Amino acid sequence: VVGSINMDLVIRTPRLPLPGETIIGSEFATVPGGKGANQAVAAAQLGAQVNMLGRVGTDDFGRSLRQNLSLSGVDTTNILIDPGAATGVAVIEVDRNGQNTIVVASGANAHVTPADVDTASAIITLANALIVQLEVPLATIEHALRLARAAHVLTILNPAPAQPLSTDVLVLADIIVPNETEAALLTGIAVNDWASAETAARILNRAGANTVIITLGARGALALENNQAIQVAPFPVN
């Protein structure tokens, strides 16, 4: 996994505030996060041998996050300690229905470079799969994808946070996994049901992504592979 490592600052609220509004929340917690680190821990918990490449600061958050990843079974050898930046943080509000808003201060994540990727090239080229997202610089992600593709390593792109991507990047993804918002930004199609999700998936497929999986929240997900669209129902969670 090449990507972000954040400390999430989570506050629960009865509802999300309107612009300029102050409301009283309830529980507050600091939770290890970052889209990249979350992917690494999830893969490790599923039994994979996982190496994580990223950056943290010299602060307490950075030390805590590296320790948490290690305890979760993730190899942290290639997590660099950046003396010139704070560890990334995300401020998250979660309402009683589980909806959230997130603001990220990238910190050291913004300093992950193509040169960092090169230092881990031996691990990347021998991997079964490379997973990336967009919380570190796009040039770094593209470099990692190209390195993996040249070595015939399966590439998985989670295009979040949402941003426009050129076909030069999309063609490097064996599997792309956007949500509705990200799929809409990438394709210009408003994704709000199965039909629009399939239309967006076919556009991404034609742009170069071999397999497209669009996550649809409470609807589940739509997968497109070998020109066949599959609707995947959700399972209930509390």
Structure tokens at 8: 């999430």
* 139-191 pLDDT tens trace: 999 999 999 999 999 999 999 999 999 999 999 999 999 999 999 999 999 99
Mean pLDDT across the chain, nearest whole number? 95
Report the share of the chain in percent with pLDDT over 70. Answer: 100
Structure tokens at 198: 């399939």
The per-residue pLDDT for 104 is 86
Identify residue 186 by its one-letter amino acid code.
L
Q: What is the pTM of this model?
A: 0.90
* 63-103 pLDDT tens trace: 999 999 999 999 999 999 999 999 999 999 999 998 998 88
Assign 238 a pLDDT band (cuts: 50, 70, 90).
confident
Torsion of CA 157, 120, 41, 8, to 10 degrees: -80
Burial of residue 237 (number of CB atoms within 10 Å: 0-12, 13-18, 19+): exposed
Q: What's the Cα-to-Cα distance from 89 to each of 27, 109, 115, 199, rounded to whole Å?
A: 18, 10, 23, 35
Structure tokens at 215: 């996550």
The per-residue pLDDT for 4 is 97
The per-residue pLDDT for 138 is 97
The per-residue pLDDT for 228 is 95
- Give the pairing of strands 54-57 and 74-75: unpaired
The per-residue pLDDT for 236 is 85
154: which strand partners?
129
Report the share of the chain in percent with pLDDT over 90. Answer: 93
SS3 content of the chain, % helix, strand, coil (to 5): 35, 30, 40
Is the model's pLDDT at 23 over the cut of 90?
yes
